[in-house]
Amino acid sequence: MPIALITHSACLMHDMGPAHPEQPARLHAINDRLIASHLSMVLHQYDAPAATREQLLSVHKAAYVDYVLKSAPKQGLAWLDGDTAMGPHNLEAALHAAGAGILGVDLVLGGQMSQAFCAVRPPGHHAERGRAMGFCIFSNVAIAAYHAIQAHGLERIAIIDFDVHHGNGTQDIVGGDERILFCSSFQHPFYPGSGYENNPSNVINLPLPALTDGKAFRQAVTEHWLDQIEAFAPQLILISAGFDGHQADDMGQFNLLDTDFAWITNRMMQLAKISAQGRLVSMLEGGYELHALARCVEAHLKAFLGEP
């Protein structure tokens, strides 16, 4: 079955200043790589809708949603936290980034697509129920998960987060909900300083030391995640696809390669085929060295197509 690429032009307008690492050039680099690799010719492209207030309220506090909706300035930047800002176009981008996961879920659960990749920004896995942080405004992947539960009646969803930073926002939202299995691998100790103790029963965190390479990463994922994900038998797999663990990316200190991201994507594809009819939706999180990011997204999508 075909694969969806979901994005929106507003995500290119999201701007937190020229020196900010979460920059529009990230999507330009991905788009250029998809064209050069000819992947753009086999992907079915969709415009992401804007998430509604009701959909945002499935995971966020009403006071926080209203605060964000009122914070977009007509010019300049309004900072929601020390490194997350609202600019004139950032609210629109954040709404469409959240809406991309919703559309991805609808497409794969409706049978139109087998998998979907959401090339959106801002990212979402640091956004908690009641606050923005770490470049993230709304919890894109959690919104997608609860849409799958509430609109499609799913009972078991796995969220896999392989960003170099812990998905604290996702855990804040889904922790304790036994309908969702949340697996997050991350460098520790490191920002945001969470995820290494007192985890809910539905959370499998995987804190790894700086300089972790592909061999150690694969071994840890195999030992701590794969059997438990298979036993959980998710009806849908969602991925928070952060590529900032690449050895070329100075946002973290992991030593992963393109092939390591292809490997974990292949493992998730295999698990999705066992219990989820192959249904998988991936959402872009981190990845800030542009060449490495673009190559990793290419490897990620080729794994959707069954390429090693």
Structural domains in the chain?
3-304 (3.40.800.20)
Task: Classify burial at 113, counting beta carbons within 10 Å of its beta carbon; exposed 0-12, middle 13-18, buried 19 or more.
Answer: buried
Percentage of the chain exceeding pLDDT 90:
98
pTM: 0.98
Residue type, 214: G
Task: Write the pLDDT tens digit of every residue in 268-306.
Answer: 999 999 999 999 999 999 999 999 999 999 999 999 999
> Which candidate in 8, 96, 125, 126 is catalytic?
126
Query: What whole-number distance in Å separates Cα of residue 132 and Cα of residue 68?
Result: 9
Average pLDDT rounded to a whole number, residues 93-118: 98
On the question of pLDDT at 97 being above 90, the answer is: yes
Tell me: cis bond preceding 2? Omega within 30 of 0 counts.
Answer: no
Predicted confidence at residue 307, as pLDDT, reads 85
Task: Write the pLDDT tens digit of every residue in 49-72.
Answer: 999 999 999 999 999 999 999 999
What is the number of other CB atoms lying within 10 angstroms of the CB of residue 55? Answer: 23
Predicted confidence at residue 198, as pLDDT, reads 87
Predicted confidence at residue 56, as pLDDT, reads 98
Strands 203-208 and 157-161: unpaired
Average pLDDT rounded to a whole number, residues 85-96: 98
Strands 280-284 and 236-241: parallel
On the question of pLDDT at 1 being above 90, the answer is: no
Query: What whole-number distance in Å separates Cα of residue 88 and Cα of residue 15?
Result: 9
- For the chain, the first-to-last Cα distance in angstroms comes to 18
Q: Measured between alpha carbons, how far is residue 256 from residues 67, 126, 302 in Å? A: 38, 21, 17
Task: Write the pLDDT tens digit of every residue in 136-166.
Answer: 999 999 999 999 999 999 999 999 999 999 9
Binned at pLDDT 50, 70 and 90, residue 308 comes out as: confident
The DSSP H or E segment spanning 46 is strand 43-47
On the question of pLDDT at 217 being above 80, the answer is: yes
Q: Encode 271-284: b = buried (16+ Cβ within 10 Å), e = exposed.
A: bbeebbebbbbbbb
Tell me whether residue 126 is one of the annotated catalytic residues: yes
Reduce the secondary structure of 220-245 to three states and give it as a string. HHHHHHHHHHHHHCCCEEEEEECCCC
Tell me what the pLDDT averaged over the chain comes to: 98
E runs forming strands in 82-200: 84-86, 115-118, 157-161, 180-187
Predicted confidence at residue 136, as pLDDT, reads 98
